């Protein structure tokens, strides 16, 4: 192991390891990412206050190939064996009644896809988006219908914004009942830091290239770690996220669902969650420079 003042540690013997072991290590470096079906709109998510970030930066980096594709031929080869730019993700065979798109929809052939490392398929859409992005099918349940199709395709868990479920119509209830679990996002938290800083703390992926993460409110230790980093990196203390208010939001959501849904079975399927986003552009700074105590820890 050798280090320099300006470079991260290097494992000089890595190239002498057996090929099978090297490739296994490269696979372990691949990010587990949330598959976003559309881009977030900060003006809608933070409608009750000033948005701390435009949010689309995290979505952009979430679509890029994993960091290891830029290391060497071998690592790139491993990455493309596991994932790709899914040019077939448009799914020409999708039934017409499941189709949906809007002006903020992700252009799937430009987004990296790795179905084996996609824990959640997430929909940012909610009612307020219609004024900005004009969905092709404006029926309130159609975005969920489309999302449920991709959840079934990947065999993982779906995620929606809490405001999208209000009002909760009969058709939406029927769609939600098709899956055993849904994450319902009650808060969006932005971390303004570099990927290196996040990775050094074991957050946002092993290499910091998984900039969108979703956790249920019951995952206290994980959530606390992400909140702590977000708070430490925030320039204005008044914009610090409040963990207690989020937990209260989760309790409020559960109470509201019980009022909206007479079926306790559906209520049990919906899990309050927080979505965390990593933005390396430091757009929370009045001038895009880093506070002194972070200059030696961020790129």
Spatial CB neighbours of 291, under 8 Å, sequence gap ≥ 6 = 235
C-alpha closest to that of 124 among 160, 154, 158: 160
pLDDT at residue 297 in the model: 38
Provide φ and ψ at 135, rounded to 5°: -65, 145
Alpha helix (H) ranges present in 155-233? 170-176, 195-200, 220-233
User: d(Cα 75, Cα 79) in Å, to the nearest integer?
Assistant: 6
Please state, for a pLDDT cut of 90, what percent of the chain lies above it.
Answer: 43
C-alpha closest to that of 152 among 118, 185, 125: 118
Residue 108 lies in a domain: yes
295 confidence band (pLDDT: 50, 70, 90): very low
Task: Quick: pLDDT tens for 193-216.
Answer: 999 999 999 899 999 999 999 999
Residue 241 lies in a domain: yes
- The domain in which residue 238 lies consists of 31-65+96-294
C-alpha closest to that of 129 among 34, 253, 43, 48: 43
225 confidence band (pLDDT: 50, 70, 90): very high
Task: Quick: pLDDT tens for 74-102.
Answer: 999 999 999 988 655 456 567 888 888 88
Cis peptide before 167 (omega within 30 of 0): yes
DSSP string of 228-288, one letter each residue: HHHHHH-SSGGG---HHHHHHHHHHHHHHHHHH-S-HHHHHHEEEEEEEEEETT-TTSSSS
Residue 249 lies in a domain: yes
Contact 111, 86 (CB under 8 A): yes
Spatial CB neighbours of 10, under 8 Å, sequence gap ≥ 6 = 1, 2, 3
pLDDT at residue 61 in the model: 94
161 confidence band (pLDDT: 50, 70, 90): very high
Residue 18 lies in a domain: no
Dmax (CA) for the chain in angstroms is 63
pLDDT at 250 over 70: no
DSSP-derived secondary structure letter, 12? T
Looking at per-residue pLDDT, the higher value among 167 and 9 belongs to 167
Contact 122, 159 (CB under 8 A): yes
pLDDT at residue 171 in the model: 87
pLDDT at 238 over 90: no
Looking at per-residue pLDDT, the higher value among 8 and 80 belongs to 80
Q: What is the mean pLDDT of the chain?
A: 82
C-alpha closest to that of 118 among 32, 17, 200, 225: 32
Total domains, the chain? 1
pLDDT at residue 124 in the model: 96
Residue 16 lies in a domain: no
DSSP-derived secondary structure letter, 120? E
Q: Which three-class secondary structure state does DSSP give residue 36?
A: strand
Residue 216 lies in a domain: yes
pLDDT at 9 over 60: yes
Residue 20 lies in a domain: no
Residue 174 lies in a domain: yes
- Token pair for 295: 């200059």
pLDDT at 68 over 80: yes
pLDDT at residue 285 in the model: 62
Where would I find the beta strands (DSSP E) of the chain? 35-36, 84-85, 112-113, 120-123, 157-161, 182-192, 212-216, 270-279
- Token pair for 155: 């065999």
C-alpha closest to that of 108 among 81, 152, 146: 146
HSE-CB at 272 with a 13 A cutoff on CA atoms is 19
- Token pair for 211: 């900039």
Contact 33, 62 (CB under 8 A): yes
């Amino acid at each position: 192991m050798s280090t320099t003042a300006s470079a991260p540690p290097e494992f000089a013997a890595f190239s002498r390891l057996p090929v099978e072991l090297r490739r296994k290590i490269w696979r372990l470096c691949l990010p587990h990412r949330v598959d976003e079906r559309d881009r977030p709109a900060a003006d809608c998510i933070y409608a009750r206050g000033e948005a701390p970030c435009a949010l689309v930066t995290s979505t952009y980096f979430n679509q890029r190939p994993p960091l290891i594709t830029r290391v060497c031929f071998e690592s790139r080869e491993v990455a493309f064996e596991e994932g790709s730019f899914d040019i077939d993700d448009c799914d020409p065979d999708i039934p017409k009644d499941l189709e949906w798109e809007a002006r903020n929809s992700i252009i799937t052939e430009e987004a990296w896809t790795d179905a084996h490392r996609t824990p959640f398929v997430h929909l940012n859409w909610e009612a307020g988006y219609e004024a900005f992005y004009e969905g092709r099918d404006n029926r309130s349940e159609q975005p969920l219908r489309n999302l449920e199709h991709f959840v079934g395709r990947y065999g993982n868990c779906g995620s929606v914004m809490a405001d999208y479920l209000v009002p909760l119509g009969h058709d939406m209830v029927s769609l939600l009942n098709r899956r055993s679990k849904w994450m319902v996002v009650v808060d969006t938290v932005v971390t303004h830091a570099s990927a290196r800083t996040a990775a050094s703390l074991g957050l946002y992926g092993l290499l910091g290239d998984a900039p969108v993460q979703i956790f249920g409110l019951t995952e206290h230790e994980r959530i606390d770690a992400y909140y702590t980093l977000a708070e430490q990196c925030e320039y204005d203390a008044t914009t610090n996220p409040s963990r207690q208010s989020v937990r209260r939001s989760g309790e409020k959501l559960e109470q509201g669902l019980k009022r909206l849904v007479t079926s306790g079975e559906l209520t049990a399927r919906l899990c309050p969650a927080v979505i965390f986003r990593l933005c390396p552009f430091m757009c929370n700074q009045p001038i895009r420079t880093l506070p002194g105590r972070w200059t030696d820890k961020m790129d």
